[in-house]
Amino acid sequence: MMNRRPLIAGNWKMNGLSTGGLALATGIAAKRKAAPDVPCDLLICPPFTLISDVAKAVAGSGIAVGGQDCHAKVSGAHTGDIAAEMLKDVGCSHVIVGHSERRTDHGETDAIVKAKAGAALAAGLAAVICIGETLAQREAGETFAVNRAQLAGSLPDGATAANVVIAYEPVWAIGTGRVATPDQAQEVHAVIRAALQERLGAAEAGAMRILYGGSMKPDNARELLGLPDVDGGLIGGASLKVEDFWAIASASA
Ligand code: PGA
């Protein structure tokens, strides 16, 4: 098995005002500085309004900062949208694309997600591409097919292990407290890796990180992060508390 360094990513979603957001970022940076040997990479994805300040607050800590979405176009008449280059400009190295909440709330299709991921790569950002089945799809026995199809449709040309991270987030596990069992997570991650291998070859597929997301918490992180094809976590609720986020990062050791 390849030696993939875990990535522990916090997705703050639409949470955080300046004071609390900065305190959260500086708290995480302090934990990282006090324990630089914890063997994982850290990424935090605040709302757009906090990115610039958070990037300054964590500068020098080794913590990466990402956006939660970007537009597929480079610039232009797209009121309310943010281009990948703008994220890069304020200190981002990553951007999440295709989160299930974007797919649901904003009707984002695989084709749109692919275009956004391509725009991220073109701007020099790494794309964290989210896929995952709904409960109805799981109960209909469509889990593997749905994830394969979303992956095939969302992965941009030029994807490599250096510029793309996949996040498997079963929709029924997001924000519900209902976490995938280790068996459920591992089998889908293995299917995703096999699909990546068909598309990108063994070397890139073996090196690409596949994160699990959906109710990852301090008390279930160690088991999930210990699975052979789980290379980190995309964490929502538990990324909003310094202690919880750090406990998850520490569980990657
Ligand atoms: P959750 O969210 O950890 O709150 O379930 C995960 C995500 O949506 O990225």
SS3 annotation, 192-224: HHHHHHHHHCHHHHHHCCEEEECCCCHHHHHHH
Q: Report the nearest atom of ligand 1 relative to the CA of 176.
A: 5
Q: Which of 168, 169, 176, 220 has most ligand 1 atoms within 8 Å of its beta carbon, as the pocket-test mutant?
A: 169
Q: Where are the domains of the chain?
A: 7-225
As beta bridge partners, residue 7 has 41, 232
Q: Which residue has the tokens 């068909």?
A: 198
CATH for the 7-225 domain, from 3.20.20.70, 3.40.50.2300, 3.40.50.740, 1.10.1520.10: 3.20.20.70
Q: Is 85 a catalytic residue?
A: no
pTM for the model stands at 0.98
Q: What is the pLDDT along the chain (253 residues), one digit of tens a residue?
A: 468 999 999 999 999 999 999 999 999 999 999 999 999 999 999 999 999 999 999 999 999 999 999 999 999 999 999 999 999 999 999 999 999 999 999 999 999 999 999 999 999 999 999 999 999 999 999 999 999 999 999 999 999 999 999 999 999 999 999 999 999 999 999 999 999 999 999 999 999 999 999 999 999 999 999 999 999 999 999 999 999 999 999 999 8
